[in-house]
Structure 1
Amino acid sequence: ATQMKNESRMPLLIEFFGPEVLKAVVEAPSPRFLGTHLHPDIMPSSFSKKKTKMVVMFRNPKDTLVSYYHFCNNNLVLPSVEWDSFFSPSLFAWGSYSDHALAWNQRMGDPNVLVVTFEDLKQDLSAGIQQISSFIGFSLPDAQVQQVAAASTFNAMKESSANSHGNMGNVIFRKGEVGDWRNHFSPEQRETDEAFNKQLAGMELGGKMDYQRHCQ
């Protein structure tokens, strides 16, 4: 990862980089760690040319929507909204989410792309860390994997979020649970499974997301 001091609080998402931050990133020694929410079709072309390793995180769509709802309501720069007003079948049922997922599904055969899921990491964080470290070219002893895992649990990151994310810590780190969507979706809102079956079921990424287990 890029060796940057915590106190600089440099944003991880490349789409938020201003000129000064971009300059610092360009001048930083390799290897560097960057994050983005960009659609794969508009990623910088240099990522493909330089065979940049890309770890892509997916979370089941229902929990993703709930997480985004709370992120919006807890973010002081965004207007608050009630759940029933926020929930939109067109938003949930596969506008940008499905487009994003389908685009990454086409890249799952790329040796420089590794897709991991939030649910898998919650189930076995150590195995996920081992998989990711091997993918990016690091061979970690078991003791170091366990050390990284201990510091990477949701509770550990939430406790340290004031240092890592400043005032945004409480906005970004809320529950970190699998299945919280069941506390929000009404019986009518739960009838969105057909959209998944039409768009993503049968796809390699769709199978990896294990929709039936986590969303039904």
Structure 2
Amino acid sequence: MDKPRKKFADILEKAMDTGNTMDRDELLFSYKGILYPVTLCSAEVFRAMESLEARSDDIILAGYPKSGTNWVGQILSDLVTILEKRTQNKASSVNDEELEEFPYLEIGDTEKYERMNKLPSRRVIFTHLLPENLPRSVFRNKAKILLLIRNPKDLATSFYHFSNSLSLLPSYETWDDFFVAFMTKKMPWGCYFEYLSKWNKYADDENVMTITYEELKENPVLGVKNIADFFGISLTDEELHIIVERSSFQSMKKNSQKTHGEFGKVLFRKGSVSDWKKLFSEDQNEKMDKTFEERIGGTKLGKKLKYEIYCKA
């Protein structure tokens, strides 16, 4: 395992080890009104983050937790690997090279952003943050952002299982308990409906491309091609199919321990659509349907999610 990939696994495993020693009510802290895991984030890091100088050729992936960011992150990392090999006049084939910094913008140490400012282009950056909590240079310097969204019922279902499998997040005795927390803005990284509402303000920005988890599942070849086109990266048919295969759920689950250490065991659970039907009660369906319609139903992102298709029993 090379050093950057080992760094990825080590940070996550250290956070889980620390979480095992903490009480449930100690696992989250609030910063600017939003909860975050204390084992991964800190107020000092958030303040230091503003020193990051974004670039117009940065590849930024924005997505709420459990929307598929690790999956799409694999696609983006492979795209950059192909581009670098082509630029260096080497054989264009994807291998196990990884990022030089932990890819999630808000996770790391306070010196992280000084190191990132020295990295060569193109940098790949992931984040779960609201747009107003990103460094101001991201929008000032017109960095391109791929916004990944997922239907809220499957996202909540995935987040529930995820929370109960990780020591660094509060666990829940029942699905009903989790549902209440999800609907009352008590989740790490904030409320998903607020996330969608805030990002919807940028949905028409020429430097923002929105893709849904569901459309990428339906047609991964077209999805990868569209993502590559957005970032100005041309692909041969062979390169396109290599990336699609490497980013398949089966492939990523198989390699999860190598890529994400012990964290990989819980990160890749099912990767399916409509798993929510096993958990939601009729009353919970009605509550989420009403909230969705009130908060984002008529917006561009709301329409993009095809709620009638994916979230109606």
Q: TM-score normalised to the size of structure 2?
A: 0.64
Q: How many residues align?
A: 212
Equivalents in 2 of 1:79, 1:97: separation in Å? 17
Aligned pairs for 1:105-144 within 5 A = 105-144=200-239
Counterparts of 2:259 and 2:144, CA distance in 1: 24
Q: What does the per-residue CA deviation read over 1:113-145, in whole Å, with 9 as the maximum and x for residues that have no partner?
A: 011100001000111100111101101112211
Task: Give the counterpart of 1:70 among 161, 164, 169.
Answer: 161
Instruction: Give, in angstroms, the shift of residue 24 of structure 1.
Output: 3.2
* Equivalent position of 2:178 in the other structure: 86
* Structure 1 residues 144-163: aligned runs within 5 Å: 144-163=239-258
Q: 2:146 maps to what in 1? A: 55
**Dislocated runs of 4+, deviation >4 Å:** none
Using the TM superposition, name which of 102-111 and 203-212 deviates more.
102-111
The whole-number CA distance in structure 1 between the counterparts of 2:171 and 2:129 is 25
| 1:31 matched residue in structure 2 | 122
Using the size of structure 1 for normalisation, the TM-score is 0.91
List runs of 5+ in structure 1 lacking aligned partners: none
2:302 matched to 1:206?
yes
Distance 1:102-1:80 versus aligned 2 partners, 3 A rule: closer
Higher fraction of helix: 1
- Aligned residues: percent identity? 36
Match of 2:281 among 186, 190, 193: 186
Structure 1 residue 160, shift from structure 2 partner: 1.0
Letter in 2 for 1:108: A
SS of 1:74 mapped into structure 2: coil
Superposed CA offset, 1:156-180 (max 9, x none): 1111111111111112111111100
More strand by share: 2
CA–CA separation in structure 2 for the residues paired with 1:187 and 1:93: 18
Unaligned runs of 5+ in 2: 9-100
- Distance between the aligned counterparts of 1:26 and 1:71, measured in 2? 32
Q: Partner amino acid for 1:91?
A: F
Distance 2:202 2:111 in 1: 32
